[in-house]
Amino acid sequence: MKFFKALSDLLFPPRCVFCRKRLETQGLCPECEARLPRCGAVGSGGEFFSSAAAPLYYEGAVRAAVLRYKFKNRRGYAKTFSRLMASCAGEELAGRFDMITWVPVSRQRLHKRGFDQSELLARGVAENLGMELTPALRKRRHTGANSALDGREARAANVLGAFEAREPGLVRGRRVLLVDDIYTTGATLSECARVLLIAGAEDVVCLTCAAARHANKKGK
């Protein structure tokens, strides 16, 4: 095993997930730790969720890293992202949730990408916080990427009715932390929160890896 790890490190040396500087172990270099664009609370909540938070703004090296994670199969990034997210949840959302779930991708996208990026993030957040992860939602139909649409209204229409609760009993009376990768307009998070509330959730708060800077201005 040591031989294969050494070979892997030689061929694919550990790097900072943001600036790509070589490190002893993959993670976050001190320079990026100090200069990354920090976010925190995002706006004042959405139509169906009461609060949201993200450790970073979705720009520059953060945006590049998230895109590599999603589309270049850098699954190992989830460990660093989820550590930052868990710390943010502890600072901004402490005491606001008693269960964790995530915004799922469709079967079609899961087959194409090979993994559910938000599930990996949620799993890491749960591990860092010492909590269980609950698969409370499923995506009932495939939708086009919201990133290709302009405006919150178009994005909200795109995901309307796209999600359903797996078992209402899983969330009834619970305060849910809903995890996703990026907060742009909050449309997808709001739709998932709406479904969770209909299923009986007491409240929904949201946590993403990164958030668009304009989200803090609009609060939506």
* Per-residue pLDDT, 158: 72
CB-CB contact of 119 with 104 (8 Å): yes
Residues of the chain with pLDDT under 70: 1-12, 44-45, 144, 146-151, 216-220
Residue 174 makes CB contacts below 8 A (sequence gap 6+) with 98, 99, 200, 201, 202
CB-CB contact of 40 with 91 (8 Å): yes
Angstrom distance (rounded) from CA 185 to CA 220? 6
Angstrom distance (rounded) from CA 66 to CA 34? 18
Question: 60-71 and 77-92 helices cross at what angle (nearest 10)?
Answer: 120
CB-CB contact of 125 with 101 (8 Å): no
* Per-residue pLDDT, 47: 85
Whole-model pTM: value is 0.89
Angstrom distance (rounded) from CA 34 to CA 137? 36
Handedness of CA 159, 161, 163, 169 (dihedral sign): positive
Question: Torsion-angle region of residue 114: left (phi > 0), alpha (psi -120 to 50) or beta?
Answer: left
Strand 99-102 to 137-139 pairing? unpaired
* Per-residue pLDDT, 27: 87
* Per-residue pLDDT, 147: 67
**Burial (CB count within 10 angstroms: exposed 0-12, middle 13-18, buried 19+), residue 217:** exposed
* Per-residue pLDDT, 149: 62
217 forms beta bridges with none
Handedness of CA 147, 140, 55, 39 (dihedral sign): positive
Domains by residue range for the chain, with CATH: 17-218 (3.40.50)
* Per-residue pLDDT, 192: 97
* Per-residue pLDDT, 161: 76
